[in-house]
Each structure stands twice: as C-alpha cells, then as structure tokens.
Amino acid sequence: MLLFLIPILLISITFHEYSHGWMASKLGDPTPRESGRLTFNPLAHIDPFGTVILPFLLLVVSQGAFAFGYAKPVPINPYHFKNPKKDIMWVGLSGPAANFLLALILIAFLKAGIMMFPKILNEAIILGIIINFILGTFNLIPIPPLDGSKIVASFLPYRISYKYLRMEMVGFLIMMILIMSGFFRWFISYFVFPVINMILSAFGINVVI
C-alpha cells in the first residue's frame, strides 16, 4: 500500500491548499489566484521538505507505521478581507473541512463499490479515508502554523493574535517533538481510528481499521 501513499497524500494536500485559496478568494483576497495557487495541479503546492522528505523520514523512523506531510502554505493577505479576524477563521477552517469532505466522498465510493471493486482498490480508498481524516484532524490542532491556530487567533485580541501566529518556528519544533515522542501515533490509534470506525459503521461498512 506504500505505492498508493504518496499519490493519495498529494491529492489530499492539494485539495486542502486549494480550499484555503478558494475561500480566501471568495472573501475578497486575490493573492492566491495571483500567485498561481488556485489550482488543482499538485506541482504548484509541493514543498520539497514537507511533501517529500518529511513523509519519507517519518515512514523510515516509524517503520512504516506513521507518515505526515504538508504543502506550501497558500499566500494570503488578510488586508483584502472585509472582516480580517472573522475571515481568517473561515480560511483556516476550509482546509480541514475539505479533507473531511473528501473522506466522506471516499466513504460513499467505498459503500457503493465494496462488493465490486478489487480488494486492492478498496484498500486504497480506505487509505485515502484515513489520510484525509488524519490531515483534517491534525490541522485543527491550535499550534502555529496549523489551521487550528488561525481559528483560535480569530478570537484573540489583535496584538496577542499577531504574536501567537508569529510563533511558527516554535510551533514546528513542538510538532516535531510530539511526532517523535509517539503522541500523534497514540492520538491516531485511540481517537482518529475509533472515530473513523464509528463513521464507517454508521454507513453500514463492516471494515475495522
């Protein structure tokens, strides 16, 4: 299934980043379109480290049990928004929402074709469901630069919000520590997987992850 991992991850993060750009564009910011990021072309969103090197390193370190990646953030200029604090929240929410939507679409495909698709295709669809639920959930964590931080920042006073969002380097180090400590593997095993199993069961799909 590792052969499916990179293509599924590329599609998932492309959909995620496109959604950020689409939402920002709808709220009045032309920056994503002008920077060429309002596209489904994965090449426009690939970050050499976050999209290629990091997932590979995590797969090696975790012996194939865990991988995480990210794309180049879509450039956004909040000064184009009518209500910057409120609109940045919607931009932040749009990425995880896109991944959850994609996961639900894949669940519908699985439900419709589970008796007709080859086993390997069903397994690839299940992998896509898992990756999108993980991406959506992971990005809601309120650690800069993850999307959850933008949601939290929308409720903070401007000065505190600005300083909070500027803590991207510290946030990145915190994420690396949490990843290497095994926290995210625990979180995925005991929270994300049970939620996915519950949703699959609600759709009448008898697959246990």
Task: Dump strand ranges (E) for the chain.
Answer: none
8 Å CB contact between 37 and 45: yes
Q: What is the pLDDT of residue 150?
A: 92
Q: How do residues 58-90 score in pLDDT, each as one tens digit?
A: 666 655 555 666 788 899 998 999 998 899 999
Whole-angstrom distance, CA of residue 33 vs CA of residue 194: 38
Q: How do residues 91-112 score in pLDDT, each as one tens digit?
A: 999 999 999 999 999 998 888 8
8 Å CB contact between 188 and 130: no
Q: What is the pLDDT of residue 66?
A: 59
Residue 169: which domain range? 2-202
Kindly state whether residue 59 falls inside one of the protein's structural domains. yes
Kindly state whether residue 209 falls inside one of the protein's structural domains. no
Active-site residues, by number, are 17
Kindly state whether residue 196 falls inside one of the protein's structural domains. yes
Kindly state whether residue 73 falls inside one of the protein's structural domains. yes
Structure-token pair, residue 154: 């929308």
Q: How do residues 17-59 score in pLDDT, each as one tens digit?
A: 999 999 999 999 999 999 999 999 988 888 887 777 776 676 6
Split into its structural domains, the chain has a count of: 1
Side-chain-facing half-sphere of 197: CA atoms under 13 Å: 10
